[in-house]
Amino acid sequence: MRGADRSEAITLMEPLVISEGSRHRSGLNDLMIDVVTASTGLRRSLPDGVVTALSDLVRAMNCYYSNLIEGHDTHPIDIERALRKDYSADPEQRNLQLEAEAHVSVQQWIDGGGLEGPATTVDAILAVHRHFCELLPEELLVAEQPQSRERLRVVPGGLRPCDVQVGRHVPVSPRALPRFLGRFEEVYSKLGKAETILATAAAHHRLGWIHPFLDGNGRVMRLMSYATLLQTLDTGGVWSIARGLARNVDVYKHHLANCDLQRRNDLDGRGNLSEEMLVEFTRFFLETCIDQINFMQDLVQPEKLRARINLWVEEGIKLGTLHQKSDVIMDAILYRGELPRSEVTHLLNTSSRTASRVVSSLIEHEVVRSETSKTPLSINFPAKLASRWMPGLFPEQRG
């Protein structure tokens, strides 16, 4: 590392957690309990087959909103195309699709248990950055220094080699990064479950405050927070805070900037940084979690979801794009979570050939999926139908 070490003390990023004696703890604890209750209720209300399909769609949604915060607008429909290796002919759009594909790949790795320990360990943070950046095209692995205009290559999983400035904040010197990250891990990876949930916002900000990488810090912060909530809440990946942060991006960035401020007075905690501002961000973060869980809960209410999907199926049958008995299969899958192929013929009261045609049509429309020709059928939520099936999940595609 070519940068200097300004011998910064690790106490510069204190407080790392909101003190137990804070007058705000009671209210924040109540919010934390509300997050746990709401997330558990949503997860338990869904059949496993719906959870799997919904988590796939949420990955694309999470990717879309996280990249949108960074100023990169790649619609989930284009993200799905990228996952099928259907890339745009436009080089810039293709690169954005590859970036989105990388983000989805990392989240899929996280969802599959790729992180062996807490998401707040140094190894986990470096691994998330490495997995993301290794999949990026070279054009996106360049960070230009605003003042010197020097162009530096972003090394996947590599700590930044020089000083940077983020707004008004000057993060710690490059050679100080290991000791600050070590302190970060020491605190955040050893908390109990409830304290981990409560401290997710603090860890989110403090990682950005350290700013370990030349580029990709924001995405790593949000993926770390996603992974932390996945680990502690068993969310099933069916909701994500990224949508709420992107929809309130100015407020989100305002809170992050405020958390950089130093302690104002003796009533503002005992660390170098403002505890009051950390409290405000934690409140915003937890309230955003609750808002997004409630949004998803309303969106996937069984009767409402079934009504929207059945309406789409009925229209397809009338237009001749779907088989007459497609509604029977879709309704059975929605009600039960999955449908064994052996039961399709009996369910439709038809020949095996006709049953096979109905199933093939639904698979071609990407609304039903099956791992093999023998495995059960389950629901799929394609991004192209999200505006009909999941209104408000993300904006309509433009153009």
pLDDT of residue 268: 60
What are residue 155's phi and psi, to 5 degrees? Answer: -90, 120
Cis peptide before 15 (omega within 30 of 0): yes
Q: Determine, yes or no, domain membership for 395.
A: no
Last residue of a domain, one of 265, 299, 333: 299
- 219 and 279 inside one domain: yes
Q: How many domains does the chain have?
A: 2
Domain-ending residue, one of 299, 328, 360: 299
- Burial code of 196-205, b = ≥16 C-beta within 10 A, e = fewer? bbbbbbbbbb
User: In angstroms, rounded to a whole number, what is the distance separating the alpha carbons of residues 387 and 381?
Assistant: 11
In contact, 65 and 246? CB cutoff 8 Å = yes
Model confidence pLDDT, tens digit, residues 251-286: 999 999 999 998 887 666 678 899 999 999 999 999
Tell me which H or E stretch contains 304: helix 302-319
Which pLDDT belongs to residue 399? 56
- Domain span at residue 266 reads 10-299
Cβ neighbours of residue 364 closer than 8 Å, sequence gap 6 or more: none
167 and 106 in a common domain: yes
Helix 352-364 vs helix 326-336: crossing angle, to nearest 10: 70
* Domain identity same for 226 and 334: no
- For the whole prediction, is pTM greater than 0.75? yes
In a domain, 189, yes or no: yes
pLDDT in tens, the chain (399 residues): 456 788 999 999 999 999 998 999 999 999 999 999 999 999 999 888 889 999 999 999 999 999 999 999 999 999 999 999 999 999 999 999 999 999 999 999 999 999 989 999 999 999 999 999 999 999 999 998 776 778 899 999 999 999 998 888 999 999 999 999 999 999 999 999 999 999 999 999 999 999 999 999 999 999 999 999 999 998 999 999 999 999 999 999 999 999 999 888 766 667 889 999 999 999 999 999 999 999 999 999 988 999 999 999 999 999 999 999 999 999 999 888 899 999 999 999 999 999 999 999 999 999 999 988 889 999 999 999 999 999 999 988 765
Pairwise CA distance, residues 330 & 359, whole Å: 10
| Residue where a domain terminates, one of 236, 266, 299 | 299
Residue range 51-78, pLDDT digits in tens: 999 999 999 999 999 999 999 999 999 9
**Closest CA relative to residue 289, chosen from 345, 353, 224, 233:** 233
Q: What is the CATH number of the domain that holds 363?
A: 1.10.10.10
Q: Does residue 384 share a domain with residue 337?
A: yes
With b for 16 or more beta-carbon neighbours within 10 A and e for fewer, the 362-373 pattern comes to beebebbbbeee
